[in-house]
Each structure stands twice: as C-alpha cells, then as structure tokens.
Structure 1
Amino acid sequence: MTGFEINGASAADMALIRDWADEEGWNPGDSDRFAFTVADPAGFLVGRLGGEPVACISAVRYGEGFGFIGFYIARPEVRGQGYGMRLWKAGMQRLDGRLVGLDGVVEQQDNYRKSGFRSAWNNVRHEGAPRAAAAPVDGADPGKASTTASGVEIVDAATVPFGQLAAYDRRFFPAPRDAFLAAWIGLPGRTALAAVRDGRIEGLGVIRPCSGASRVGPLYAASPAVASALLLRLAEHAPDGVVAVDVPDAHPRATALLAGLGLNPTFEAARMYTGQEPDVDLTGMYGVTSLELG
C-alpha cells in the first residue's frame, strides 16, 4: 500500500464523491453535498493512491453520541487490495465511542455484520409517478388519495418557525442536526413543504433533483392521508412527475400507501446499527431523509 494516504475531502472531492455514488446507481441528489458538509465538515474522507483519489467514506458525527457511515466506495480498479478496509477503519475510528448507523446495500451486509452492525429494518426505494386517483389503501385512512388532507394546510416549510421544524425532525432522528436540516430544506432547486394543523406540524417533506428520479426525503406525516397529500404536492415539482422514496419496511402502512399510489420497489438497503436501535418515530416515517447521512 505504498503511496496510499487518507485525508479530508475538499469541495472538489465532494463533487467527485457524488459522481462515484451516481455511477454505483445510488441516484444521489444534485446538491446534497452542500448540506452534507454543513452537517460535519470533517466527516468525509478520501483515500488517495499516488495522489489520485481512489476511495471514499463519510463518517459524520451528530451530537455527542451518534454517528453515521455512508459513501463507502472503492473504485473498481483498486478493489480487493485493502485500500477500502483501511478507509473503513479510519471512518469507524472517527466515530469511536458512538452509536453508529448506516444503510448497507445487500452485497455488503454480511461484511457490516462482521464489523458489529445489526439490522434494524430495510429501507426500500419506491419509484414512480404518484396517482392522485389511486384506490384506497388497506390499513390507511379511508377515501381516495388526495393532494389535501382534512383540516391540514400544506405550506412552504420556509414559512414555519425553524425551531418547530427542528423539534419535529428530532422525533425521527436520534440526534440534533439543525444546521444540516436548515441547509437541506433551503438549498436552491428543492422544495420543502410542511403540513400544519392549528399551528402544529403534522408532516414534512422535501423533494430534490437528481440525475434519475427526483428523491423525496424526509417524508414525515401524522397519517397516511397527510403523507399522500404531501407526496402528491411534492411530485408536482418533479420534472417528469417521477419520484423516489426510501421507505422503512418496518412501517407497513407506509409501504402500502406508496404501493397504492402506484410506486414500485426498485432498490433496498438495510438500516443497521452497532448497538441498541435508537428510539425514533417509525410510525410517522414514510420516507427517510438520506441513505448516505441517515
């Protein structure tokens, strides 16, 4: 491994990492990297061989006790030579002492288990153009899918006090991530909508452009009716109406809702943790924020 070194990612590296993830078929958001670096500027590592980047990983710290691994990629020409493992160890060392989560693709899950990770649920990507006239979904609220939900107003999330949004997000994520959330909902080219009832937040959704289907995440909601209203409104901002949502299979009502709206499974990754699964509100999680940063 002569000539291999690991250092922090530059802005140019972050663009390269996004391109590598796209080549892996992960369909990252076009501008996600700008929110990612706000979350933890030192949390992205690049392995270089002879000065050229050949591998990457993110090891992002949240709060005092949580971390998340993502973007674990070694370029095809250097795989099987130990460079990826050295980078993995550097990332995990950066998160030493924390509960660590990741979303593992199927072919890597056995390796993650060997490193002490345990599966909590699968995040299954559903893609398609949501159909507003979809039939009622078993187990969901009665009535056809609609762009409205009774008693709920869908508003621009930027008009909601940010402290309320951050507190709402904490129901679904194990640690504070206010700076990341502010960037995530406010970056140009994306749309963030909140569902509000009597001044209380009952849903939040963000759609962002990607090289493939526009990604929706997070998608939080108090009920299937609110989730469908948010998703249908967000889909209006997709260039071709096609969206992709990563849905926890531990929330069967969410899976049933998306199937009823005409979205089909295309990809899955296991949400895994090194310790006790954190206490988050899975019953309100209709789509996770990001497979790369949780």
Structure 2
Amino acid sequence: MEKNSEHIKELIIRKMSREEVEFAVEMAAAEGWNPGIHDGELFYEADNDGFFIAELEGKPAGCASAVAYDDSFGFLGLYVVKPEFRKKYIGRKLTEKCLEYLEDRNIGLDGVVENEKKYQKMMKFSSSYSNLRFEGKGGGEIPGGIVKISEVPFGKLLSYDRRMFPAPRSGFLKKWINQPDSYAFAALEEGAMKGYGVIRKCRVGYKVGPLFADEQDTAEKIFRALKASVPGETVYLDVPEPNEKAMEIANKYHMNVMFKTIRMYSLKEPDIELDKVYGVTSFELG
C-alpha cells in the first residue's frame, strides 16, 4: 500500500490538448475497440475540456473522456490504463477527475461486462441494458426513397436527433455527418425527417452510427444504403438489445455478434425514444 501511495503522489492528471487526444485513440485501438480514423478530431469537438490524461513519472499512463453535452447530461468513455501501469489506482483517480468535471449531471457510459459490478459498487451507476456489436459485410444497392444527408436542413436533423439522444449536440453532429471517409443518408416523407444514418471508416472496416429511424422499414433502407456505400468492407453495427426490430435487421443480414457492453447511468435512464435507436453513435460518446 505504501508503494501505491508513492505512485499516487507522483501521478498527474490533467486536461489533454487536441494533439494528445490521438494518444487516447491509439489506446482505444490497442484495446481492440477499433476507433474511426478521424475520431480524435471529432470526439474533441464534443467537449474540448473533457479529455484527461494521466501521467506517472512523466510518462503517459492512462486516459479518459468526460463529455458534458449540456448542464444535465454527460458521457464517460475512452477509459484506458496502460497494462504496465495498472493496479496503481490510476484508473480510480481518472474516474474521480471525470466525475468531478461532470458534477451533478446524469452520466452515461458503455462498460465492458467484466467491469459492470465495479461500476455499480464504486461509482454507484445502475445498469440499463446491453448494446451488442454486430459484424457483417458491405455491398448491395442503395434503395429508392433515400437522400444524402446534405439535402436535409441541419436544424431539422438536429431536432430529430434530440429525440433519440439525451442532449443537444450541435457542434459534434455537424462535424460527424460531414467527416471525411464517411457516408450519411436520411429518409424524408413530405419534408419530415423519418430517419438518418452515418457510416465511417475505422481502423478495420466501417462502423454504422448513429442509425435512428421511426420505423423498421426505414431503418433497414438507410442501413442498406450505408452498407452499399462500402462494398466488400467489414461493417459494424452497435445495437441496443431491447430494440428487437434492430436485432431483426442485424440477423436478417447475417451479422454476427462480436461482443457486448452494458449501458449504465449515474442517476436515471434518460427519456429518449430507444425503440427508434437502431444503431448507437459510438460507445465512447453515447
């Protein structure tokens, strides 16, 4: 314990610069989380005060993000400690820093299954449901009735997104739908938004997220358009397990479950239309 106390005294936890966010992305890649190739820049846009790095003896030892979307909701992610620095209370100190930053907001996270009980006990978070990562293949044809997202007024998209996400995220969303190496489509009916989706290039293959839609048929059309945009590529889709219709789409296209996370919240499950969430935006930012 005395040795660990010495380590804690030498530990520095501070805010990351934009360039240092790439360290967090590389840590995520080393853990097998397969980040998007532009995630560093895009994540930082969500909250440039909410990314933290832990340094021990002058060396980067770990990282975590705590994105404050507004005054009532935040999200924890990119929580990694280098293997050689584990069991030195670094993870606990990073957690404390993140919780201090997010104050009394309702906080969400997607935790790996083996850490669920730890988050329940140490952080007093409650488990809400599982998210499943599916893997499949790109290809097919873009169906009719789908438009490029650039044809949708941004204000209309932002209002629609807010129904399925617990807080407004204007700055982040504007960058997310326009990122390089990505495709984004929407469904409109008499000018009204009925759904939208994005697929982005990752270290391996492409990830869909978000995929929001009012109806299963609409979600499937958008999904088909997204996967048709990356023929022959590996495609990933992160599905909330309670959304049975989303699970049906993944199974219909012969996608395989790779792993699952546990969606947890510090206060309560947000009042969003989860039945219209066919694909999570990202496990790091919610």
TM superposition score normalised by structure 1? 0.91
In the alignment, the residues of structure 1 paired with residue 23 and residue 134 of structure 2 have an alpha-carbon distance, to the nearest angstrom, of: 26
- Paired residues for 1:1-294 under 5 Å: 1=7, 2-114=9-121, 115-129=123-137, 147-148=142-143, 153-238=145-230, 240-294=232-286
Tell me the percent identity.
40
CA positional deviation for 1:147: 4.3
Which runs of 5 or more residues in structure 2 are unaligned?
1-6
Contact 2:139 2:232 in 1 (8 A): no
Contact 2:211/2:278 (<8 A) preserved: yes
Residue 239 and residue 24 in structure 1: after superposition, are their counterparts in 2 closer, same or farther (change >3 A)? farther
Deviation per CA, 1:86-134, whole angstroms, max 9, x where unpaired?
11111111111110000001111111111111111111001111676xx
Cα RMSD of the aligned pairs, angstroms, is 1.4
Contact 1:128 1:242 in 2 (8 A): yes
Preserved contact between residue 48 and residue 54 of structure 1 (Cα < 8 Å): yes
Residues paired across the two proteins, number? 278
In structure 1, the residue corresponding to 2:180 is in which secondary structure? coil
CA distance in 1, matches of 2:181, 2:206: 11
TM-score, scaled relative to structure 2: 0.94
The structure richer in helix per residue is 2
Cα drift, residue 238 of structure 1: 2.4
CA contact (8 A) 1:209 1:238 kept: no
CA contact (8 A) 2:139 2:230 kept: no
Query: C-alpha offsets along residues 6-43 of structure 1, whole Å, 9 cap, x if unaligned?
Result: 11112231111111101111111111221211110011
Unaligned runs of 5+ in 1: 133-145
User: Structure 1 counterpart of 2:166, which letter?
Assistant: P
